[in-house]
Structure 1
Amino acid sequence: MSENTIPHTDKTQWVSSTDSKLYSLKNMGRYSRLIGDLSHRKAWLLDNEKLKALYNENVSSRHLEVGPANAEMLSNTTPPASPDEWRIHLMDINHNPLVFAKEVLNDRAIVEAVQHDVLVAPWPNLSRAFDSIAMGNVLHCLPGNGFPGKDGAFAGIADALTDDGVAWGYTVLGLEDPDVEHNFLARTLIRAYNKPDRKFFQNAGDRLADLEPQLRQHFDDVTVWSMGSAALFIVKKPKR
């Protein structure tokens, strides 16, 4: 995997922290098996085919992928345009996922990337730039007291989305959410991932009931539902 130069914003303004060990290029190569296959199917009970359908139904020729990981979803999405007309922008606080995903997608689209903390809104030079935005497996990693404490991510989506655009995402909910029944493996992993010496997850206060009202602060059209251990959302009509 070649070492690409990825531009970044002012890191002194970031709220979240990077983790180059967890998000190494080696781990990006394992992502489909460990996360897309094992975690989604066995722990979170996320249906990957339904997640792919979200992409195929909504992805546009001007798309922003927030937290691309290994670009598993985008690399299996039906292209909305030819490779010289499909523009994909990648954003992540970690450098390696951007390098990995960019290389995976370069033959499918014109790909740009920026290293930036999604909690710091508005996002750099991206205002009203995208007809589609996806944010999968991101919110549960972000610091903040529940979804209200992660509002910068929602504000960023609203600012970057065009008036007629659509955004979607999915995130694992906290252990104490009374509206979710986590299975044994999910409970074990969530508890381990939230340990102070790890902080792979920071979703202790993330509750399904809080997600829709938080999104409605930024969008007029909001749909939220649960699947296994996760919340999914689709938003349109950003408030200006």
Structure 2
Amino acid sequence: MTDQLDNDHSLSGDASMYTKPVLRIYDPIALGMVCPIAWRCSRGTMLQFFNDNVRGKHLDIGPGTGFFLDKATYPVERPDIVVADLNELVLQTTEKRIIRYRPRTMVQDALMPLQTDELFESIAIQNVLHCLPGTMKEKAVVFDNLIPNLSPGGVLFGCTVLGKNHGLGRAGSWMMEKYNDAGSFHNRHDDAHGLESILADRFERYSVRTRGAVAFFEGHRG
């Protein structure tokens, strides 16, 4: 049995959409079809980026189904993994999928400070920012919440779908509107410049690069 780290804060944000039916189709539909067709960026590209940055002691915020944690190539044989999400079903699904690593789980709102002083060599927020409410500047609180838990020399990384006019074709533009109207996404005005500005204010070494409508970012703690 894995350890459960508790969070005292009230849960906020739209986590209820990740039901059992949604989680069952997430990998083949969201990652397998929507990403390459609408966002013009494959899950293979996302996985390679994940592999390039994940370290032996890792915190994963908003893991979805646990796809990237499951498929990742870790730099150590037995990585120490903590998985955090608002939705306990997401945590249970991910924990079961990567049970071979004996992950710990934590009910956690990304918009609130972490309820642990534990340090991590890598922290991932993969496909999370575009789901959070507010402007890109307001979403920067996520970085402020996580940086105190990043080890010296550690990396905070992830990817996010940008808003309009960022590599979207007709299908992507239509999908973007539908997702925003439904409240699944809150990224109409998210752009690479705003993301880069957030990182520049918080990291001496950082990078932002795009593939289709997806921005890949990393910030390194000195």
TM-score (norm 2): 0.92
Mapped partners of 1:192, 1:18: distance in 2: 16
AA in 1 matched with 2:210: S
1:125 equivalenced with 2:116 (yes/no):
yes
Between the aligned partners of 1:199 and 1:192, the Cα distance in structure 2 is 9
**What is the CA RMSD across the aligned residues, in angstroms?**
1.9
Q: What is the CA deviation profile of residues 74-122 of structure 1, one whole-angstrom value per residue up to 9, with x for unaligned ones?
A: 111123323xx42111111222111100110111x1201111110112x
1:161 Cα offset (Å): 1.1
Aligned length: 221
TM norm structure 1:
0.85
> 1:28 maps to which residue?
23
Q: Does 1:57 align with 2:52?
A: yes
In 2, distance between residues paired with 1:26 and 1:8? 26
Q: For 2:162 and 2:52, how far apart are their aligned partners in 1? A: 25
1:191 is matched with 177
Q: Give 3-state SS (helix, strand or coil) of 2:196's partner.
A: helix
Query: Residue 136 of structure 1: which of 116, 126, 146 is its match?
Result: 126
Secondary structure of 1:219 counterpart: coil
1:56–1:78 Cα contact (<8 Å) kept: yes
Where does residue 113 of structure 1 map in the other structure?
105
Task: For 2:121 and 2:22, locate their aligned partners in 1 and report how far apart those are by CA, in whole Å.
Answer: 30
Q: Is 1:89 aligned to residue 87 of structure 2?
A: no
The aligned counterpart of 2:201 is 217
Preserved CA contact (<8 Å) 1:86 1:110? no
Cα distance between partner residues in 2 of 1:132 and 1:120: 19
Match of 1:148 among 128, 137, 144: 137
Deviations 1:129-153 (Å, cap 9, x if unpaired)?
Answer: 11011111100000112x1110111
Deviation string, structure 1 residues 34-67 (Cα, Å, up to 9, x no partner): 1110011111111322222222222211011111
Match of 1:160 in 2: 149
Q: Deviations over 1:4-49 (max 9, x none)?
A: 995542343x5x32432x2012321211101110011111111322
1:181, CA displacement in angstroms?
3.0
Counterpart pick for 2:168 among 182, 190, 207:
182
The alignment partner of 2:168 has SS state of: coil
Unmatched 5+ stretches in structure 2: none
Aligned residue number for residue 10 of structure 1: 8
Which AA in structure 2 matches 1:87? D
Letter aligned with residue 141 of structure 1: C
Q: CA 1:49–1:18 in structure 2 vs 1: closer, same or farther (change >3 Å)?
A: closer
Picking from 74, 90, 95, the partner of 2:69 is 74
8 A contact 2:53–2:155 mirrored in 1: yes
Counterpart of 1:100 in structure 2 is 93
1:96 and 1:185 map into 2 onto residues whose CA distance is 30
Residue segments in structure 1 that go unaligned for 5+ positions in a row: none
